[in-house]
Structure 1
Amino acid sequence: MKISCKLILGTVQFGLNYGVNNKLGQMSILEAHEILDLALKSGVKTLDTAAAYGSSERVIGDFIKSKGHNPFNIITKLALKEGRTWGNSLQSSYTDLGVEKIDALMFHSYKDYVNTKGQLQELLDSQKGKGFNKLGVSVYTNEELAAVATDEHIDLVQAPFNLLDNDSLRSEALRKCKEHNKEVHTRSAYLQGLFFMDVKDLPERLKPLRKELGVIHDISKAADISIGALALSYALSKPYIDGVLIGVDSLNQLEQNLQWAHTENLESYFEMMDNLKVKEVSLLNPVNWN
């Protein structure tokens, strides 16, 4: 598989000001469209969005309209808060995207998946193969991965994976998903930009990660590559991962990510990352940063 085909472009930044290290804010529609153009030209054919990502779906829909056809495989996630049903959330996504069918529909959380289980058959009967090809769940924990892995109705799982939330923490759970014929996508390759921050500038809540982040910076220097190249190449190197989600704040960042994705000869450094173990595992989930 070509590396660019394994990349998935996350689009939360199209619709929201997102990321602990994002200093640019929400991007303009023009820049979002430039990013989508470059992604296409570079062989990145899959987009990850969500009904909850502000105007992201509408921005993508405007791009699709300008092209006259949909050139992407689109993954979107249901918004089931504030009394919304899967039906009106999905219809809203189709309308905003300007499409009649997407590649994959996901539950935005394991909780949403559990709460909608009683309606799963209705969702599948009315929409699978017609409105979407694959049904997935976005999860955080290995326990959630294990529960979803055995559900024959679920085709796709998305979970965190990165230099800290790494092989030692995730490989067993992700391999189990593969054994049950699930497509595996991972997100948080840069842990919302945390890896790029100077260790001295860490917020108080994240200071327990100083030692492990220091190790990552040391390995980056030893390998004579950037933190970004190390982080992205690490996730892309794993055979049990089918797609790696990246988010970018600018066109330059996408160009940089595409370069990082083709970094080679890092296997010995990947072994070091495999063995790096975080004590404060709860801090690997950004939900716990506030």
Structure 2
Amino acid sequence: MKKYSRREASKLMLCASAGTIMSPSLMSYAEDGLKKRKIPSSGELLPIVGLGTWQSFDVGSDQTARARLKEVLTCMKDYGGTCIDSSPMYGSSERVVGDLTKALGMQDHFFYATKVWTSGRQSGIDQMQRSMHNMGRSQMDLMQIHNLIDWKEHIKTLKDWKERKKIRYWGITHYTNSSHETLAKLIQNEKPDFVQFNYSINQRNAEKRLLGTAHDHGVAVIINRPYAGGSLFRKTRGKSLPPWCKEQEINSWGQFFLKYILAHSAVNLVIPGTSKPHHMVDNLKAGIGRLPDKETKAKMVSLLADM
């Protein structure tokens, strides 16, 4: 049994106070550690479960909500998560991330990702500089072109900023199946460090070409909308996991959905959003321990289809 320092124990108790029950099973997962995968363009290791901030971190100055989000970030750090993904599209989320990580003294623990979401070269530069200020960063880990808006213009800026070390990586994003062909072509032609797109157990269009294209061209993959906009939880509400899930180290429907995604070798990172500490821990547990093999994945798809 791992022994914890007083500081570590205090942090774990903070998660518990937020409604996360630190069972022996949960403690063993924390001890085993969150899986990491290499960013192809650099070889840097990145934990495979991160945090999206759309809606969940758009809380402005609400102190009660901010206190809860501090606990989310603390739990994330304690379990080894690092990537926080945001955007100027997400209201106050960038500023809230910057304020809370500073208040917690965790500014240098996380891998910060945000996006440019405007048209025009100078407008993009101005917006990205505001984002960096809001998130408290002198260098952004990852800057992405949000939903491919004015991508031809922004790609030139992002390549220049990477060369000048204002950003470490650059990428492109979208959230619809109809964008996948364009993303695949940009991967081939522009060689971004990262591509972010939608993929879930019941929306598997990315398996046709996009995931393979990213893998073949050495582009790291971030998955958004892993729960298909919440529709997966609505489909499984009130239903129990089958007994065979326990053998696969799947202990919740959330882990069921995330482990299906993470089992694909092209996926570097999945970024479910949450404002609840116990959901943050449950999400992170999907990246700890066993991942399903090809036969198990087929079984998972069949189970969901029969509901």
| Length-normalised TM-score, structure 1 | 0.75
The 3 A distance-change label for structure 1 pair 187 and 200 is closer
**Contact in 1 for aligned 2:57/2:275 (Cα 8 Å):** no
User: Could you give the per-residue CA deviations for residues 127-180 of structure 1, whole angstroms, max 9, x where no partner exists?
Assistant: 5442211111112332122222113352110111111122x6525321111211
Does the Cα contact within 8 Å between 2:34 and 2:287 map onto a contact in 1? no
Q: Equivalent residue for 2:298?
A: 271
Is structure 2 residue 283 aligned with structure 1 residue 257?
yes
Quickly say closer, same or farther: Cα 1:169–1:56, change in 2 above 3 A: closer
Residue 121 (structure 1) shift: 2.3
Unaligned runs of 5+ in 2: 1-32, 37-46, 246-250
Cα pair 1:74 1:102 within 8 Å, conserved: yes
Q: 2:115·2:144 contact (CA, 8 Å) conserved in 1?
A: yes
Aligned-pair identity in percent equals 22
Sort the Cα spacing of 1:171 and 1:221 in 2 relative to 1 into closer, same or farther, 3 A.
Answer: same
Following superposition, the deviation at residue 198 of structure 1 comes to 4.7
Asked whether 1:134 is paired with 2:169, we answer yes
Partner of 2:35: 3
Instruction: Look up the match of 1:117.
Output: 152
SS at structure 2 position matched to 1:240: coil
Contact 2:117 2:146 in 1 (8 A): yes
Give the conservation status (yes or no) of the 8 Å contact 1:189–1:232: yes
- Tell me how far apart the structure 2 counterparts of residues 249 and 256 of structure 1 sit (CA, whole Å): 12
Contact kept, 8 Å, 2:124 with 2:154, in 1: the verdict is no
Contact 1:136–1:154, Cα closer than 8 Å, also in 2? yes
Say if 1:136 and 1:3 are closer, same or farther in 2 by CA, change over 3 A.
Answer: same
Q: Which moved more, 1:248-257 or 1:2-11?
A: 2-11
- Return the offset for 1:193: 1.8
Number of positions where the alignment pairs a residue of Structure 1 with one of Structure 2: 251
Q: Distance in 2 between matches of 1:275 and 1:148?
A: 33
**Gap regions ≥5 residues in structure 1:** 18-25, 202-216, 279-290
Rounded to whole Å, the distance in 2 between the matches of 1:233 and 1:46 is: 18
Q: Distance in 2 between matches of 1:96 and 1:147?
A: 32
Separation in 1 of the partners of 2:267 and 2:106?
32
Pairs within 5 Å for 1:72-221:
72-80=110-118, 85-110=123-148, 112=149, 115-126=150-161, 128-139=163-174, 140-141=176-177, 142-166=180-204, 169-198=206-235, 220-221=241-242
Instruction: Provide the C-alpha distance between the structure 2 equivalents of 1:53 and 1:153, rounded to a whole number of angstroms.
Output: 27
TM value normalised by structure 2: 0.71
